[in-house]
Amino acid sequence: MKLNIGKTIKRLRKEREITQEEFAEVMGVSCQSISRWENDSCYPDIEMIPTIAAFFGISVDHLMGIDEQAEKTAVDRYLNDFQAAVSSGDIDACIRIARAGVAEFPNNYALLNKLMYALFVAGDDTGNIPDWKENRDKYDAEIVALGERIIKYCPDTEIRFEATARLAFHYCELGKKEKGRAIYETLPSMSHCKEQAIWWALSEEEKLPYTRDFLRKSYDALSYALYRLVDLVSAEDALKVMDKMDALDALVYDSRAFEATWSNVNMAYRRAKCYAALLRYDEAVQQLKRSAALAMAFDNRPEEERCASLLLGEWVRKRSNFETADSRPLSEILRDSWLADKVFDSIRDSDEFNAILEQLK
């Protein structure tokens, strides 16, 4: 059996930005010895193996490269368990799962990234996490430390950029917007991102799936920008923006998109808010009825659904793909949180409004 000690040492050393000279000095050997190890010309002396493993914070088996498949299987199990927990809004379970994974594999950046994410979400004030404010303060230093470690050492570009954006967001949430913005500025611009540039390097077989994936990401980005625009304009203009969002959905999805989505529930609710603000109460009630019906359908959606369109091709929506900081059903969130908005006070005592509340119980 071929051992991969040299390859592992070289990868870990480069991830930590340690030169061969620096590593040689720590190990008490010559720089030529390090070079020979990494070139697989020879192995380190057996008595040095535990020292090297300890230096990198990994097991001896991991260093020797004889348990890579076992690690992948175990890490995949942690990630699947994490996804199941976050899809149900159980953030405490997410933290426990991620911590257990990191304890077993302290240098796995996928697990470190999930731990950072879980700690960040634990401070989300929009969910039903009672200690969110305390969590934001309690986990502040750990979130920063994890983010800085991932940014400095992680070889995976996607994970590194995800952690970069999250660290910037974390600073903004704490009121440190200048620091957050400085970090955001380090991210590549949309015009120079991989998705924009890589077309010319693709094979003919890759171009169709790539183009549809790019269309989906572009649609998501545009939808997110329109969603934000709704909050920045008048109620009358917000309704026009949401009409354009519906037209965009019909264009992209061939009018066959999944109807029962969190986004559709929220947009119907936001339409109702705009109508109520404009004193168009009958239309507000109709949108609340639509929001309630969609919320109940969302809560009872199947484990897996399939859909297809000309622009996006075929895709699957899994129930477990949904991520939330709220363990309540969406119907309950709509009833107890969103419908408590003061904009509905003028219709709160009406029979139709109370019928909607009763329906959501």
Q: Give per-residue pLDDT as tens, 175-205.
A: 999 999 999 999 999 888 888 889 899 999 9
Contact 91, 118 (CB under 8 A): yes
Domain 5-64 CATH class label:
mainly alpha
Whole-prediction pTM: 0.80
Q: Which helix (H) or strand (E) holds 315?
A: strand 313-318
pLDDT higher than threshold 70 for residue 138: yes
Position 109 pLDDT exceeds 50? yes
In this prediction, residues 291-301 reach a mean pLDDT of: 97
Question: Residue 349: pLDDT band by 50, 70, 90 thresholds?
Answer: very high
Residue 271 CB contacts under 8 Å (≥ 6 apart), including other chains = 239, 242, 287
Give the residue from 300, 294, 285, 295 showing the smallest Cα distance to 331.
295
Q: What is the pLDDT, as a whole number, of residue 58?
A: 78
Query: How many Å apart are CA 5 and CA 300, to the nearest integer?
Result: 50
Q: In one letter, which amino acid is 350?
A: S
Superfamily of domain 68-187: Tetratricopeptide repeat domain (1.25.40.10)
The Cα–Cα gap between 15 and 151 comes to 11
State both tokens at 60. Answer: 């001896």
- pLDDT at residue 69 above 80? no
State the average pLDDT for the chain. Answer: 93
CB contact set of 301 (below 8 Å; sequence gap of 6+): 260, 319
From the list 120, 93, 119, 98, the residue with the least C-alpha distance to 109 is: 98
pLDDT of 66 over the 70 cut: no
Q: Which residue has the tokens 């870990």?
A: 12
Q: Which long-range contacts (CB under 8 A, 24 or more apart) does 40-43 make?
A: 40/6, 40/7, 43/3, 43/5, 43/6
In terms of residues, how long is the chain? Answer: 361
Is pLDDT above 80 for 126?
A: yes
Is residue 325 within 8 Å of 89, Cβ to Cβ? yes
Do 125 and 325 form a contact (C-beta atoms < 8 A)?
Answer: no
Q: Give me the percent of the chain exceeding a pLDDT of 90.
A: 76
Spatial CA neighbour of 54 closest among 80, 74, 27: 27
DSSP state of 175: T
Asked if residue 288 has pLDDT above 70, the reply is yes
Specify the higher pLDDT residue, 83 or 14: 83
Residue bearing the bigger pLDDT, 64 or 72: 72
Could you say which DSSP state residue 4 is in?
-
> What is the spatial distance between Cα 148 and Cα 163, in angstroms, rounded to a whole number?
8
| pLDDT tier at 290, thresholds 50, 70, 90 | very high
Tokens 């070289």 belong to 10
Q: What is the pLDDT averaged over residues 3-16?
A: 85
Q: Which residue has the higher pLDDT, 294 or 257?
A: 294
Q: What is the 3-state secondary structure (H, E, C) of 197-213?
A: HHHHHCCHHHHHHHHHH
112-to-58, 157, 336 alpha-carbon distances in Å: 14, 14, 35
CA distance 101 to 81: 10
Q: At which residue do the structure tokens 């549809």 appear?
A: 212
Question: Within the chain, which residue ranges are assigned CATH 1.10.260.40?
Answer: 5-64
- Looking at residue 2, its pLDDT comes to 56
Distance (Å, whole) CA 283 – CA 239: 12
Query: If you ran DSSP here, which 8-state letter would residue 296 be given?
Result: H
Measured CA to CA in angstroms, residue 207 lies from 10, 42, 214, 251 at distances of 34, 44, 10, 21
Query: What value does the mean pLDDT take over residues 253-274?
Result: 92
pLDDT beyond 80 at 67: no
Pair 3, 65: CB distance under 8 Å: yes
Is residue 170 predicted with pLDDT exceeding 90? yes
Q: What is the mean pLDDT of residues 238-253?
A: 95
CATH 1.25.40.10 in the chain is located at 68-187
What pLDDT, on the 0 to 100 scale, is given for residue 1? 42
Using 50, 70 and 90 to split pLDDT, how confident is the model at 60? confident
